Amino acid sequence: MSQVKKDVEQKEEYLNKSLPAPTTSMERYLTELSNHPILSRKEEYKLAMRYRKKRDLESARKLITSNLRFVVKIANEYRNYGLNPMDLIQEGNIGLMQAVKRFDPTKGYRLISYAVWWIRAYVQNYIIKSWSLVKVGTTQAQRKLFYKLRSEKQKMDIGDVTLSHEDYKNLAKELGVSDQAVIEMDQRMGTKDLSLDAEINGDGEITHLDFLVDDLSNQEELVTKAQEEDEVKKELETALKSLKERERFVIENRILNDTPLTLEELGKKLNLSRERVRQIEDTALKKIKTVLEKKGVTQGQSD
C-alpha cells in the first residue's frame, strides 16, 4: 500500500472516530447533535477554504458535525422502507463526508445545498442494495416505480397486504403506468432477498451485483448540473426584477406559468390588444437576455 493511500485512510479513520456515531437511541443521538451549532455562512466559508487549501481535518470535522442534523432529516424521508433508521443516517453521513471532500465554497453555495445530493445518493444506494436487485430492478424507470409504489401503498394504507385487481388498477392510475408494471414490481417487492453475489448464468462469471447500476458514479455530474440550474434560476429572478410591472406580469403568465396564457387572454386581463401584448413580451425577453448575458449565463444554460 502506497504512503499516500495510507495517509488518506488514516485521515478518514480520524474523521469517522471523531464524529458523533448513530446509536440505538435516536433521542441520545439527536441530543448529541444539538451540541454542534449550525455555522454561519462566513464561518462555513472560512472552514471550507481551510480544508480545501490545507486539508485541515479539524475544519472538515466542524463542517460535518454542524450539518449532521440535516442528514437525520433527509434520512427520515425514507423511513417507510422498513430499514433501520440509524443505518440510513449512517449512510447519509458518509454521503455528507464525500460532499465535504469535494465542496468548493467559492461557487457561492452553502455546503448543505451541495451535500443534499450526496446524502440522498448514499441513502438511496443503501436502500437499493438492501432491498436487493430482484426487488428494485435495473433500469432507472424501474427504480422510480419502486420508490413511488412504496410511497403510494403507504398513502393508501395497504402496506404489504395482498393486493386485489382493483388495488393494482388504482395504483397504476395514480402512478401513470400500466397495471402489469405495478403487478410485476409489487411481486419483486414481495420476494425474499436475493444475494447480489449469486451467479446468474451458473458459470461464476456474472453475478447480480454486475447489473447493479452505481448511481454514485455520476453524482458529481448531477450536482454540477443542479447547481448550474439553480444559478440560472437565481439570475432569472434578478432579471425579472429589472422589468416593469406589466412586463413581468406578461413573462410570468406567458412563460413561467405551468399553464401559460395566450396573448389574447393576457390582452383581456390587461385591457390591451393581442399585438400590444406581444410587443411587451418581446421587449421583456430582450431585457432578460441582456441581463443574463451580462451575468455570464449562456443560451445553452438557460434553455
For residue 47, what pLDDT is reported? 96
Series of mean pLDDT values for 10-residue runs along the chain (303 residues): 52 63 74 88 95 92 93 84 83 92 89 89 77 49 65 62 74 78 68 43 45 44 59 76 90 77 89 92 86 62 46
For domain 218-302, the question of CATH label 1.10.10.10 is answered with yes
**pTM of the model as a whole:** 0.49
Give the burial class of 258: count Cβ atoms within 10 A of its Cβ; 0-12 exposed, 13-18 middle, 19 or more buried.
Answer: exposed
Q: Is 199 helix (H, G, I), strand (E, B) or coil?
A: strand
For residue 201, what pLDDT is reported? 43
Contacts 24+ apart (CB under 8 A), 49-52: 49/105, 49/106, 51/100, 52/103, 52/104, 52/105
Query: What is the chain's Cα-based Rg?
Result: 25
281 touches 249 (CB < 8 A): no
CA atoms within 13 A on the CB side of 95: 33
Bin 244: left if φ > 0, else alpha if -120 < ψ < 50, else beta. beta
CATH of 3-131, one of 3.40.50.720, 2.60.40.1120, 1.20.120.1810, 1.10.10.10: 1.20.120.1810
Pairwise CA distance, residues 303 & 260, whole Å: 17
What's the residue count for the chain?
A: 303
For residue 293, what pLDDT is reported? 74
Helix-strand-coil split of the chain, %, nearest 5: 70, 0, 25
Pairwise CA distance, residues 214 & 223, whole Å: 15
Buried b vs exposed e over 68-93: b needs ≥16 C-beta within 10 Å?
A: bebbbebbeebeebebebbebbbbbb
